[in-house]
């Protein structure tokens, strides 16, 4: 298992990262490089697990001043010294052109743009310009806010600079809501990114999604089950005393356990029985979906009649009492059927906003315009 997960060779195929086993690709290392000894010990342990790409933060974006902001250039010297002894590649975060220049000067193997950089197109463009003519692989973390266009835009700027090896890192999204995650995963966003850019490897960073080491295994497994191409995990010899992100870093021992536990499922199965059963189930889904779409169209036709009727009688589009009763009854129905009430609520909010849009269109129609 460990061998399969970690004995990864970075190969360039049609300008994209692929690894020897197709997937996934493991990256592990400390949130921050703190001392030579800490970095050496971590690299050695990570390498002994068969992982050959080590992450380390050299400059740290911190929320408040007067906290540990990374050791800077001396860490790059430690990295060079460690690489002379252990055959690994190093990945670091660069947040400005100066960081990138120092990374190149010290032969860093790959860089990533952090979540606070991806949000800023000016900085991204400056870094992209400085990347021209280099062939260093670049990983792009999602922006802190759930904005797919911004994430795609950042990747596009890097690609336009001629960088051929690009990967995306999903590290979750800031949320004002109280959730069990430090950064909400909002899995549909990276899935949408993968749909738009199928050739860009997608790596999951369970550490920054979780914010708590007890959840790393579960999130990493979910990413693998969603066919991610790789995982980037923060690990530290003494996590509780780490200078940054102490709660979410796993110990070197825990890292070994997690890697040993992760299950790598296959993309597909060639067994004929499996295939025919899957096809039968998919046919049933297709026919149910067809009914759903047909019923939505039927519903919309009735909405049009209602809109017209309200307009003729000068009645407002939104009837709060009716809307509340729709929501409540649909929630009740879904509960009785064992469906998630939150899911049904989300679906009905979407249906309702379309209904309002349609009725507004009818209200705004001038009497002489064709219906």
User: Where along the sequence are the contacts to ligand PEP (CB under 6 A)?
Assistant: 31, 57, 61, 93, 114-116, 141, 171, 208
Instruction: Please identify, using beta-carbon distances, which residue of 153 and 345 lies nearer to ligand PEP.
Output: 153
**306 and 359 Cβ atoms separated by less than 8 Å:** yes
Considering only 28-36, 177-185, 193-201, 321-329, which stretch makes contact with Mn ion by CB under 5 A?
28-36
Q: Which residues are within 8 A (CB) of 2 and not within 5 positions of it... i.e. 6 or more apart?
A: 49, 50, 259, 260
| Cα–Cα distance measured from residue 339 to residue 328, given in angstroms and rounded to the nearest whole number | 14
Buried-state track 122-144, b at ≥16 Cβ within 10 A, e below 16: ebbbebbebbeeeebbbbbbbbb
31 binds Mn ion (CB under 5 A): yes
| Strands 202-204, 110-113: pairing kind | unpaired
Look at the alpha carbons of 91, 96, 100, 106 in this order and tell me if their dihedral is positive or negative. negative
Which partner, Mn ion, ligand PEP, none, binds residue 229 by CB below 5 to 8 Å per kind?
A: none
Say if CB 89 and CB 110 are below 8 A apart: yes
CB of 30 to Mn ion, least distance (A): 8
Q: Which is nearer to ligand PEP, 114 or 201 (CB)?
A: 114
DSSP 80: H
Q: Closest Cα partner for 35 from 241, 224, 200?
A: 241
CB of 359 to Mn ion, least distance (A): 48
Residue 194 site contact among ligand PEP, Mn ion, none (CB < 5 to 8 Å, cut-off depends on kind): none
Report the DSSP pairing between strands 166-170 and 110-113.
unpaired
Output 61 or 146, the one with its CB closest to ligand PEP. Answer: 61
33 binds Mn ion (CB under 5 A): no
Q: Given candidates 93, 205, 229, 245, which one binds Mn ion under the rule CB under 5 A? A: 245
Nearest to 261 by CA among 306, 299, 231: 231
Helix residue ranges, H only, 313-336: 320-336
Which residue, 210 or 303, is less far from ligand PEP as judged by CB?
210
Measured from the CB of residue 205, what is the shortest distance to ligand PEP in angstroms?
6
Quick one: 201 or 206, whose CB is closer to Mn ion? 206
| Nearest distance in Å: CB 339, ligand PEP | 34
Q: How far is the CB of 16 from ligand PEP (least distance, A)?
A: 22
Quote the least distance from Cβ 131 to ligand PEP, whole Å: 18
What does 237 interact with, of ligand PEP, Mn ion, none (CB < 5 to 8 A by kind)?
Answer: none
Residues that bind Mn ion (CB under 5 A): 31, 245
């Amino acid at each position: 298992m460990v061998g399969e997960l970690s004995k990864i060779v970075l190969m360039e195929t049609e300008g994209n990262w692929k690894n020897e086993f197709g997937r996934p690709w493991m990256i592990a290392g400390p949130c921050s490089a703190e001392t030579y000894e800490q970095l050496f010990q971590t690299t050695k342990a990570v390498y002994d697990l068969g992982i050959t790409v080590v992450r380390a933060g050299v400059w740290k974006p911190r929320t408040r001043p007067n906290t540990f902001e990374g050791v800077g250039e001396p860490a790059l010297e430690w990295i060079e010294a460690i690489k002379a002894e252990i055959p690994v590649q190093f990945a670091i975060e660069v947040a400005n052109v100066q960081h990138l220049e120092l990374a190149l000067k010290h032969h860093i193997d790959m860089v990533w743009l952090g979540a606070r950089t991806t949000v800023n197109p000016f900085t991204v463009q400056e870094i992209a310009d400085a990347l021209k003519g280099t062939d260093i692989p670049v990983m792009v973390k999602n922006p802190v806010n759930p904005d797919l266009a911004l994430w795609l835009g950042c990747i596009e700027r890097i690609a336009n600079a001629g960088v051929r090896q690009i990967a995306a890192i999903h590290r979750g999204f800031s949320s004002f809501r109280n959730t069990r995650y430090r950064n909400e995963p909002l899995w549909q966003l990276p899935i949408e990114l993968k749909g738009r850019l199928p050739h860009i490897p997608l790596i999951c960073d369970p550490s920054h999604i979780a914010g708590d080491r007890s959840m790393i295994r579960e999130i990493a497994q979910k990413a693998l089950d969603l066919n991610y191409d790789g995982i980037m995990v923060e690990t530290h010899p003494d996590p509780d005393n780490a200078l940054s992100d102490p709660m979410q870093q796993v110990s070197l021992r825990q890292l070994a356990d997690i890697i040993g536990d992760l299950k790598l499922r296959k993309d597909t199965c060639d067994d004929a029985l499996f295939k025919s059963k899957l096809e039968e189930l998919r046919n049933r889904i297709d026919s149910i979906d067809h009914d759903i779409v047909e019923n939505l169209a039927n519903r919309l036709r009735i909405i049009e009649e209602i809109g017209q009727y309200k307009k003729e009688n000068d009645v407002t589009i939104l009837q709060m009492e009716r809307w509340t009763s729709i929501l409540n009854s649909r929630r009740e129905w879904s509960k009785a059927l064992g469906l998630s009430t939150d899911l049904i609520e989300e679906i009905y909010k979407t249906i309702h906003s379309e209904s309002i849009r349609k009725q507004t269109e009818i209200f705004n129609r001038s009497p002489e315009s064709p219906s």
